[in-house]
Amino acid sequence: MQVILNGSVAGELLSNESLANYTSWRVGGLAEELFIPEDKAGLCAFLVQLAGSKSLFWMGFGSNLLVLDGGIAGVVINTRGRLKQMALYDGLVYVEAGVPCPHVARFCAEQGLIGAEFLAGIPGTMGGALKMNAGAFEGSTWDLINSVETVDNLGVVRQRQAQEFKAYYRGIEGLGAEWFLAATLKLQTGDRLQSQEKIRQLLAKRAQSQPTNQPSCGSVFKNPEGDHAARLIEAAGLKGYCIGGACVSDKHANFIVNIGAATAADIEALIATIQQQVEVKYGIKLQTEVCRVGRLK
């Protein structure tokens, strides 16, 4: 179903759409409504039309997301492949929320800007990376941010500076009832070829150490201070352990992979088992990095 706003097509509004088609784990129930905007203007116009009448949930790649089997009520807004503008002006890199993080890394390298190479290892969009302060290879998203553009559920757009937020490990404070539309990144100039080679090496390392060819959400658990979740899970003897179609990866113990026909309930049960076993053996309660949303079936 197309939504017409002010005489122009703003995007698609789908009813009872399976979110398993939109998450990297390939699991999840139905969205009561799923809106796919044509662009940023179409998204803002849609929000103005809704006028706060329905609950909203935002997603990009769905790569750090466990949507429960009962699905999500209200409207799910999916920006993957839509809010995709990226440009360089006044020494800053402007990136909309739907741009995949690896694309940002490559674009910055091509411009001779260094410091964003780690984004090549984040399997998500810039909007999600901003929301969770995503990181990889010792780099974190908010280390790069100069300013952001946000929108609220009434379609009001605001420009905000990085210092208005407090970033920490896998999260931020200060967002409130807003969502990210775009960001500007401030980087240092450097050698383009060296930056591109660093990206190549990081991607090779990722492919060697992570199950990139299987459905997963990336890292499931946060690393406890002074240790690594993967080490603890492996030491607990859980590498390769499965519940239903969900298994602890043989390649990286902090990844849970869908080996086929897994449900969100399988993944939840496996997460709980891992937490229980690690706590029993090492006295450490692993905290999840993945965002759990939706209703039980």
Residue 72 has pLDDT above 90, yes or no: yes
Per-residue confidence band for 32, with pLDDT thresholds at 50, 70 and 90:
very high
Mean pLDDT, the chain, whole residue set: 92
Q: Above 70 in pLDDT, residue 4?
A: no
Does the structure show a pLDDT above 50 at 12? Answer: yes
pLDDT at res. 123: 86
Q: Which domains does the chain have, with CATH numbers?
A: 2-78 (3.30.43.10), 86-209 (3.30.465.10), 229-293 (3.90.78.10)
Q: In whole angstroms, how far apart are CA 63 and each of 82, 101, 281?
A: 16, 12, 30
pLDDT of residue 296: 87
* Residue 3 confidence (pLDDT) above 80: no
Q: Extract the tokens encoding 108.
A: 């910055």
Which residues pair with residue 173 across a beta bridge?
A: 166
pLDDT in tens, 141-195: 999 999 999 999 999 999 999 999 999 988 899 888 899 999 999 999 999 999 9
**CA gap 28, 56 in Å, rounded:** 17
Q: Which of 18-22, 46-50, 137-141, 276-280 has the lowest mean pLDDT?
A: 137-141
Question: What's the predicted TM-score (pTM) here?
Answer: 0.88
Does pLDDT of 1 surpass 50? Answer: no
Mean pLDDT value of segment 202-231: 92
The yes-or-no verdict on residue 2 having pLDDT over 70 is no
Per-residue model confidence (pLDDT) at position 293: 95
**Region of poorest pLDDT, from 20-34, 43-57, 100-114, 264-278:** 43-57
E strand intervals along 19-101: 30-37, 56-59, 65-67, 72-78, 86-89, 92-96
Query: How many whole angstroms separate alpha carbon 148 and alpha carbon 41?
Result: 16
Strand partners, 242: 247
Spacing of C-alpha 137 from chain mean position: 16
Q: How far apart are CA 229 and CA 213, in angstroms?
A: 21
State the pLDDT confidence band at 297, using cuts at 50, 70 and 90: confident
**Mean pLDDT calculated for residue range 105-125:** 94
> What's the confidence (pLDDT) of residue 8?
53
pLDDT band, very low/low/confident/very high, at 231 (cuts 50, 70, 90): very high
Quote the DSSP letter at residue 115: S
pLDDT confidence tier of residue 284, bands split at 50, 70 and 90: very high
Q: Does pLDDT of 250 surpass 70?
A: yes
Residue 97 reports pLDDT greater than 80: yes
List residues with catalytic annotation.
Answer: 170, 219, 289
